């Protein structure tokens, strides 16, 4: 995997992944 993503982009990806996990728990 290319290491050319910015810290902000990486943070956004983590937020999306966490949102998916929370959605799974709530449903």
C-alpha–C-alpha distance, residues 24 and 21, integer Å: 5
pLDDT at 26: 83
Query: In this structure, is the dihedral angle defined by the CA atoms of residues 15, 16, 17 and 18, taken in order, positive or negative?
Result: positive
* Contact partners, residue 13, CB within 8 Å, separation at least 6: 5
Query: pTM above 0.85?
Result: no
* pLDDT tens, residue by residue, 10-23: 889 999 999 999 99
C-alpha–C-alpha distance, residues 18 and 11, integer Å: 11
């Amino acid at each position: 995997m290319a290491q050319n993503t910015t810290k902000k982009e990486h943070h956004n990806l983590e937020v999306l992944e966490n949102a998916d996990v929370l959605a799974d728990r709530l449903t």
